[in-house]
Amino acid sequence: MNNVALLTALVPLALSAPAVAQTAPVAPIAEGLGGPVIPGICLVSRQAIFSNAKIGLAADARIRQITSEAQREVDAERAPIDADVKAFQAEAAKLTPEQRVTRERALNARLQPVQAKAQRRSQEIEATRAKALQRVASEAQPVLAQVYAARKCGLLLDRTSVLGGNLANDLTADVVRGLDAKITTITFNRETIAAPAAQPKR
């Protein structure tokens, strides 16, 4: 480990909080073209369902909470190491090369497990997000099927792939209302990934 690596040790290990869905749907490129309603062809935006349905909002809030908790955990373990890194950097000029190497190796040995934990927590958060999305999709599926049948649809397209035209047969708002009437919240904990087993010393 060198001084550059020690400097990077002071950079916070930021865990990302992937949103359950984007909050602002992308407008069609040729929005406003209009035209006749095509019977039987319906549209839906899964992103808008996840972003606007109460269960989607609850899932997003819970994922952000889990991410914040994991970040605090990592930060608490990083703090004393970062303090020792700063102290080492202040004293480095007074140390012999052998002393510097010894201190660097010791700090590196302490830092590596924390970095591994941060990476594992990020993977766990991503797995949690995917599972939450699947739960929201499962809850929405029967509602979508009901709206699809009620609107006498014969073909369902993803609204985000439509460049323009008459969007009168967009089912999204009806699905959101139906989903809100069915379920409004969701609870879950962070998925766990076991830490790799320690390698036996040789």
Which of 113-126 are b and which e, b meaning 16 or more Cβ less than 10 Å from the residue's Cβ? ebeebbebbbebbe
Percent above pLDDT 90 for the chain? 63
Could you tell me if 163 and 30 are in contact, meaning their C-beta atoms sit under 8 angstroms apart? yes
Range with the lowest mean pLDDT among 11-20, 67-76, 84-93?
A: 11-20
pLDDT at 48: 94
Domain ranges within the chain, ordered by starting residue: 29-182
**Domain 29-182 carries which CATH code?**
3.30.910.20
- φ, ψ of residue 130 to 5 degrees: the values are -65, -40
Q: The whole model's pTM is what?
A: 0.78
pLDDT at 32: 57
pLDDT at 161: 86
pLDDT in tens, 3-59: 434 444 444 556 665 655 444 444 444 555 668 888 999 999 999 999 999 999 999
